[in-house]
Amino acid sequence: MCSLLEVLVTCDSNNTLWTSSIWDPHTGTNLMTYKGGGTAETKTLSFIGNDYVAAAERTKPILHVWPVNSQQTVQGMRFILPGKAGAVSVTSDGSFLAAGIDEKIYLWQISSGSLLTIINRHYQKIVLLKFTSDGKFFISAAEDGMVMVWSLATVATHPEVDLVTQTTAGQHDPVYIFSDHSLPVTDLCVSKIGMHGRLATISSDRTCKIYDLSSGEMLLNIVFDVPLSAITMDVLELNLFIGTTEGKIHQFNLASPPRTRDFLLNTDANTPIFEAHTKTVTCLSVSVDGETLMSGSSDEQIILWHIPSKQAVRTIRHKGPITNAFFTTNFPAIYKQNFSPNIILHSLERNLDKEEEDINVIELLVNKKVDFWPERREDLDESYLPSKELENEYKLKHMALEEELIKMKKINANLYAFSVKKALVSSDNNNKRKKKKKTAF
For 295, residues 6+ apart whose C-beta sits below 8 A from its C-beta are 230, 243, 249, 274, 277, 281, 283, 284, 302, 303, 305
Separation CA 284–CA 268 (nearest Å) = 22
Q: How does residue 281 score in pLDDT terms, banded at 50, 70 and 90?
A: very high
Strands 126-131 and 137-142, by their bridges, are antiparallel
Question: What residue type is assigned to position 127 of the chain?
Answer: V
pLDDT one-digit tens code per residue, 16-50: 889 999 999 999 999 999 999 899 999 999 999 98
Q: What is the residue-averaged pLDDT of the chain?
A: 85
Cβ atoms of residues 98 and 81 within 8 Å: no
Q: How does residue 223 score in pLDDT terms, banded at 50, 70 and 90?
A: very high
Measured at the CA of 113, the angle between CA 112 and CA 119, to 5 degrees, comes to: 125
Q: What percent of the chain has pLDDT over 90?
A: 57
- Enter the pTM of the model: 0.77
196-200: average pLDDT: 93
Per residue, what are the HEC states of 131-160? ECCCCCEEEEEECCCCEEEEEHHHHHCCCC
Q: Of 210, 203, 249, whose CA–CA distance to 227 is shortest?
A: 203
Q: Which CATH number fits domain 6-358: 2.130.10.10, 3.40.640.10, 2.40.40.20, 3.40.50.2300?
A: 2.130.10.10
